Amino acid sequence: MKITYSIVAPIYNEIENLPELYRRVKEVMDSSGEAWELVLVDDGSTDGSTEKIRELARTDKAVRPVIFARNFGHQVAITAGWDYSRGDAIIIIDADLQDPPETILELAKKWKEGYEVVYAVRAEREGETWFKKFTAAAFYRLIYSITDVKIPVDTGDFRLMDRKVVNVLKQMKERHRFPRGMSAWVGFKQIGVEYKRAARMAGVTKYPFSKMFRLALNAITGFSYFPLQVATYFGFFSAGVSILAIPIVIYMRMTGAGAFTGQATTLIAVLFLGGAQLISLGILGEYIGRLYDEAKGRPLYIVRDAPEE
């Protein structure tokens, strides 16, 4: 049977949300009148989600379980969903139901109009702290301004992609992944659809600040050389200040001004420049570390159990 829609949901300790996720996805997709499948990628869950996924798969052949051997991360789980999906259109959705499954039909409508990537834009965000909203807004605008790839602001991974887009994305094997940036990089005909992002139905967020920071770092280093360029710009700036300061210091020394007596000024300058050099080395090390990870050539993920077809 030809599958029209593949809904991919990465799962990590979402036992409380799984039944409602399945119910709402099934209700929405059955109403479309098209053949569909729900690809549930278990990312090393430890709360019973794995058994629940298998139970759903036994009772409904539309559910396709992909069980990781351990936790590999949300972005890698999305990649596995691409690899195991069979539909003409692939929809990425979070399992916490903050991305309402009912919006899928709106995304599909745009796809049928000829758009190959339809991303969901967060017009409203319920149940999130002001800090989360502020940092998210700042991040999206920062990444938009410093990269050559124009990643749409206020968007997450919730989106529909045509099969031809996913086939291209499957060729991109970088380990430090940022799927929403990758889907923008490949091009094709794209459009956004606004929706109201709901509060998490149950459980706790799987993206604390530390993981959000790492994701932001992956996005910046994966799609921009700006951090490396900052070190260069700062070097030119420091050299320029030094050149301008030389005649001023000579003049003040010759006139007997006491502004530059003692070692305090020298110590501050050395500490400042030393700190800037260490920051620059850290930025360089971040890029080199990513090259090292790519050179090892390890698989992105290891699957313990998955459907053969």
Residues in the chain: 309
Q: What pLDDT, in 10s, does the model give residues 215-259?
A: 667 666 666 667 777 777 777 777 676 677 667 666 666 666 655
Residue type, 301: Y
Q: What pLDDT, in 10s, does the model give residues 174-192?
A: 777 777 778 887 888 888 8
- Tell me the β-bridge partners of 303: 68
pLDDT at 298 over 80: no
Return the pLDDT at 263: 60
How far apart, in whole angstroms, are the C-alpha atoms of residue 10 and residue 83? 13
Helix (H, G, I), strand (E, B) or coil at 298: coil
Average pLDDT on 86-108 reads 87
Other CB atoms within a 10 A radius of the CB of residue 198 amount to: 15
Predicted model pTM: 0.69
In CATH terms, the superfamily for domain 5-224 is: Spore Coat Polysaccharide Biosynthesis Protein SpsA; Chain A (3.90.550.10)
Sequence ranges of the domains in the chain: 5-224, 226-296
How far apart, in whole angstroms, are the C-alpha atoms of residue 274 and residue 252? 26
Higher pLDDT, 125 or 55: 55
Q: Are 153 and 194 in contact (CB under 8 A)?
A: no
Residue 204's pLDDT band, with cuts at 50, 70 and 90, is: low
Residue 287's pLDDT band, with cuts at 50, 70 and 90, is: confident
Return the pLDDT at 146: 67
Look up residue 156 and give its DSSP letter.
Answer: E
Return the pLDDT at 160: 92
In 179-291, which ranges are E strands?
190-197
Look up residue 306 and give its DSSP letter.
Answer: -
pLDDT at 112 over 60: yes
Return the pLDDT at 209: 59
pLDDT at 208 over 60: no
